[in-house]
Amino acid sequence: MSSETTARKPRRTIDSLSVERRYKNAIDTFLAGQLPDFNHQRHVDIANILHHHPYGRQLMHLGLQTMAHRHLIPEKYRADITDQWWDKLDGTLPDPAVFDDLPGGACGSREAGRPD
C-alpha cells in the first residue's frame, strides 16, 4: 500500500485521524491564533499533536505565524526555530485535560462541567 493517494497527497492514517478527532478544538483554536495561555508547555503540546498529522510541520508554522500576527508581534515568529526543534519532538500526546480551559475541551464536544 502506498503512503500517497493517487493525487500524490500524503495518505491519512487511522492514527492521524484519531488524534485530529481527539484534539480538534485545540488544533482549530491554535490555527485561529486564539489559544489562551500559550506558554512553552502548551507550545510543545500542540507541536506533539500536530506531529501526528501529515502536514503537521506546515500547520505548526501557520499557527505560530497567525498567533504572532494576532498578538501584533509578527517579528517574534521564526520558521527556522520551529524547523530546528520539529525533528526533536517525540510525538507524545498530552492529556486532553490540559485543554479544559477551552470551551468544549480538547475535542470541542464536551459539555461544560462534564468530563469526556
Q: Is the pLDDT of residue 116 over 50?
A: no
Cβ burial of 93 (10 Å; 0-12, 13-18, 19+) is middle
pLDDT at 19 over 70: yes
pTM metric for this prediction: 0.85
Quote the mean pLDDT of the chain. 89
Whole-number pLDDT of residue 5: 63
Using alpha carbons, select from 66, 61, 59 the residue that is nearest to residue 24.
Answer: 59
Q: Taking 70 as the threshold, does the pLDDT of residue 114 lie above it?
A: no
So what's the pLDDT on residue 94? 97
**Residue 98 near residue 58 (C-beta atoms within 8 A):** no
Q: Residue 24 corresponds to which amino acid?
A: K
> How does residue 111 score in pLDDT terms, banded at 50, 70 and 90?
low
